[in-house]
Amino acid sequence: MKSFIENINSSIKESIDTKQKLLNECSSEIEKCGLIIAEALKNGGKVMFCGNGGSAADAQHLAAELVVRLRSNVNRPALPGMALTVDPSIMTAGGNDFGFENVFARSVEAYGKKGDILIGISTSGNSKNVLLAIEKAKRMGITTISLLGAGGGKINSLSDYSVIVPSDVTARIQECHILIGHIWCEMTEEILFPEYF
């Protein structure tokens, strides 16, 4: 049987290298966005997440970290986070009636309000449904933050704030997106609930 050790080592090294670039190039953007998210939650806003495929999974993952908690030793109150990807009836009805490119924008229109945050997640930076959701959010006065890769794509120029992972490899970008999301959750917990730290 073929050994995969060389492939495994290469993938791990590539992941480390990407995170080192993230550390060197993106820490200030990560901090800025984390502070904006914490301030919105402190002021009664909510955080909505959207993305496709693995990014949809990341949207759900990060919403769960807000609603439940990130760290088991921080038994804090729930925070309002929601993934716009989780209701198959809404997704399929919206896709059928308005086109798949509009499914997230429709949910932003239904649930969003000024003072909220929309976090769009796209490894390419060009996901049409994420882009249209950001356009809708901006028209509604909702702050937009994007987690991107591959140079940022079209979404970068539309978002109020972005963190662009310095990679073109989807798996490495996704690994960094979940890391960034966890950092934002850590920051939010420490800012909103200092009594636990």
Counted domains in the chain: 1
- Looking at the domain assignment, is residue 7 inside a domain? no
Q: Say what the pLDDT of residue 2 is.
A: 80
Q: Check if the beta carbon of residue 25 is closer than 8 Å to that of residue 166.
A: yes
- Looking at the domain assignment, is residue 147 inside a domain? yes
- Looking at the domain assignment, is residue 35 inside a domain? yes
> For position 150, which CATH number holds?
3.40.50.10490
Distance CA 76, CA 101 (A): 36
Q: Check if the beta carbon of residue 140 is closer than 8 Å to that of residue 166.
A: no
Q: Say what the pLDDT of residue 138 is.
A: 97
- Looking at the domain assignment, is residue 3 inside a domain? no
Q: SS3 sequence, the chain?
A: CCCCHHHHHHHHHHHHHHHHHHHHHHHHHHHHHHHHHHHHHHCCCCEEEECCCHHHHHHHHHHHHHHCCCCCCCCCCCCCEEECCCCHHHHHHHHHHHCHHHHHHHHHHHHCCCCCEEEEEECCCCCHHHHHHHHHHHHCCCEEEEEECCCCHHHHHHCCEEEECCCCCHHHHHHHHHHHHHHHHHHHHHHHCHHHC
User: Domain limits at 101?
Assistant: 28-196
Exposure on the CB side of residue 97, measured as CA atoms within 13 A: 8
The tens place of each residue's pLDDT in the chain, 197 residues long, gives 888 999 999 999 999 999 999 999 999 999 999 999 999 999 999 999 999 999 999 999 999 999 999 999 999 999 999 999 999 999 999 999 999 999 999 999 999 999 999 999 999 999 999 999 999 999 999 999 999 999 999 999 999 999 999 999 999 999 999 999 999 999 999 999 999 99
Distance CA 146, CA 36 (A): 13
- Looking at the domain assignment, is residue 187 inside a domain? yes
- Looking at the domain assignment, is residue 23 inside a domain? no
The partner residues of 83 in beta bridges, in order of sequence, read: 49
- Looking at the domain assignment, is residue 77 inside a domain? yes
Q: Check if the beta carbon of residue 100 is closer than 8 Å to that of residue 132.
A: no
- Looking at the domain assignment, is residue 34 inside a domain? yes
